[in-house]
Chain A
Amino acid sequence: MKLPAPVSFAVGLVPALAAGWLLFPRLLYRTEAQPLPFNHKAHTEGGMGCADCHAVAENGRFAGLPATEACAGCHAEKGDNAGINALVASYVEPGREVPWLVHARQPDNVYFPHAPHVTGDKLACARCHGPHGESTATKAYVVNRLSGYSRDIWGPSIARVGRKEWQGMKMSDCIQCHRAGGRESACLDCHK
Chain B
Amino acid sequence: MHTSKHTTSLPAHRYTLVVDLDRCTGCGACGTACAVENNIPPAAEKATERTGTVWMRVHEAAAAGDGPSTFVPIPCQQCDNPPCVDVCPQRAIEYDPRTGIVAQIPVRCLGCRYCMVACPYHTRSFNWWTPEWPEGMKATLNPDVSIRTRGVVEKCNFCVQRLQAARAKASAAGQAEIDPADYVPACVEACPSRALSFGDAADEKGEVARLAKDPESFRLLAGLGTGPKVLYRSSDPAVRERLSRTGVTRG
Partner of B169, one of A60, A108, A111, A188: A60
Interface bracket on A: 20 to 34
Residues of chain B within 8 A of A113, CB atoms compared? 164, 167-168, 171
**Is A191 an interface residue, CB under 8 A from the partner?**
yes
Indicate if the CB atoms of B169 and A59 lie closer than 8 Å: yes
Q: Which of B97, B147, B157, B171 gathers the greatest number of chain A CB atoms within 10 Å?
A: B171
Q: Which of B99-107, B126-134, B200-208 contacts A (4 or more CB under 8 A)?
A: B99-107
Q: Which of A23-31, A68-76, A114-122, A124-132 contacts B (4 or more CB under 8 A)?
A: A114-122
**Is A189 an interface residue, CB under 8 A from the partner?**
yes
Indicate if the CB atoms of B161 and A115 lie closer than 8 Å: no
Per the bound structure, the CA–CA distance linking A140 and B147 in Å amounts to 30
Extra 18 A-B pairs, beta carbons < 8 Å, given A59-B169, A115-B169, A116-B171:
A56-B172, A58-B172, A60-B171, A60-B173, A61-B165, A108-B146, A108-B147, A109-B106, A113-B168, A115-B171, A116-B168, A120-B171, A186-B94, A186-B97, A187-B103, A188-B105, A188-B157, A191-B105
Chain A to chain B contacts (Cβ below 8 Å), 21 pairs: A58-B172, A60-B170, A61-B165, A61-B168, A109-B106, A109-B146, A111-B144, A111-B164, A113-B164, A113-B168, A113-B171, A119-B174, A120-B171, A186-B98, A188-B94, A188-B96, A188-B101, A188-B103, A188-B164, A189-B164, A192-B145
In the A-B complex, list the 4 residue pairs whose CB atoms are closest, starting with the nearest: A60-B172, A113-B168, A60-B168, A115-B171
